[in-house]
Amino acid sequence: MSGETLAPQPSDNNKPINYMDLTEDRKEYLFKLPQAIEDKIIPQLVNPKDIVMIRLIFNISVTIIPSAALLFWYRNPPVVLGVLHMFMILVLYLQRFVLTLHFASHKSLFNSHLFDLYLQYVISPFFGIPSGTYRSHHVVMHHIENNVFPYDVSSTMTYQRDNIFHFLCYWFRYVSAIWIQLPYYAWKRQRYDLSLHTVAWCSAYIVSVSTLYQFAPGATLFVFILPFIIVSFLLMFGNWCQHIFVDPERYNDSYAITYNIINSEMNKLTYNDGYHIVHHLYSQLHWSELPNYFLKNQGKFLDNRSLTFEKVEYLEIGLYVFMGWYDKLYSYYVHLEKGDQKKQSKEEFIRMIKQWLTPITPKEN
């Protein structure tokens, strides 16, 4: 993974351009495990830095699972308890959990797969993600197909990506059709075991939720149904925002289907998820290494005409695009300096961005 190394460019007081992301402080968890337990766990991790993920899953296990059990004890719980449960899911944990699931799906935390099974099959449904489907959807399909339609069924490229109604169609397609499209994708790619696995777990999820609803409709609504509806919307909006800018001439080039975000508080909550180009280039690169790779390879991102923003979040970028606030978006745009190359003017930037928002029809291979 050697690449061209540039002298760090100044972002603030001659600091490295992504100086905020180079610090060690993390915010992915709320509280630690007892130190004696952590001392036992850390040596078992493939990478000791992943202890932050263990802390987060511990946080969830001692709050969300008891809360869900309490709701099912009531069967039709008081609304205030259901709302409190949803608050914990959506506000305290959702962003943290999804990115924990994301990076743990790319790189196992332990040599044993027991923790992975707990994460993928036990915890995921409480966050609206059916058991056994995330890795198939994200790691196998999305990363292999790289946002290219039709094989990546979550591809954004065929939509007008500054049109809110196109996004709603995109979200509805996921909610209504992913149960069929994901196993069909695996079958078409001759991943027959993965296709059958997905069918089995999607069917089990539907049957389980339906059965629980007959027994405890109120609890099932708050614990499984509402999280699936709301989280599916947020997941699809997140993916839409990450792949909202796609160069029509390079729609299968990782440098041109997404962008990097640096110096954002989001990176402290999400294992440096802002480095999305880097992640698509090297999905096996550990999350802690993403900022340094970016810093050492700025020339590659500049030469490949990729986009970099700072001190902003994905959802904000999506909002600015939907609202047509391109001046605001330009204020977060980062020019990676090299030699005498000048930063794009606002007019040039806006013209390019609008072109990268248009629907793209893939060329036949």
Is residue 261 domain-resident? yes
Question: Does residue 248 form part of some domain?
Answer: no
* pLDDT of 3: 39
DSSP summary character for residue 111: S
Strands of the chain (E only): list them: 259-262, 307-310
Q: Distance (Å, rounded) from C-alpha 287 to C-alpha 279?
A: 8
Per-residue tokens: 139: 């790691």
Q: Considering the domain boundaries, does residue 275 fall inside one?
A: yes
Kindly give, in sequence order, each residue whose CB lies less than 8 Å from that of residue 211, ignoring residues fewer than 6 positions away.
none
For residue 33, being part of any structural domain is answered with no
Instruction: List the domain range (segments joined by +) for residue 278.
Output: 254-355
Query: Within a domain: residue 364?
Result: no
Q: Give the DSSP per-residue string, 151-180.
A: TSTT--TTS-TT-HHHHHHHHHHHHHHHHH
Residue 270 lies in a domain: yes
Q: How many domains does the chain have?
A: 1
Per-residue pLDDT, 89: 97
**294 part of a folded domain:** yes
User: What distance in Å separates the CA atoms of residue 133 and residue 87, rounded to the nearest whole number?
Assistant: 24
Residue 239 falls inside a structural domain: no
DSSP per residue, 188-215: HTT-HHHHHHHHHHHHHHHHHHHHHHHH
**pLDDT tens-digit series, residues 158-202:** 999 999 999 999 999 888 888 888 888 888 888 899 889 999 999
Predicted pLDDT at 81: 97
121-125, 175-179, 351-355: least confident range: 175-179
Report the run of H or E that residue 39 belongs to, with start and end.
helix 35-41
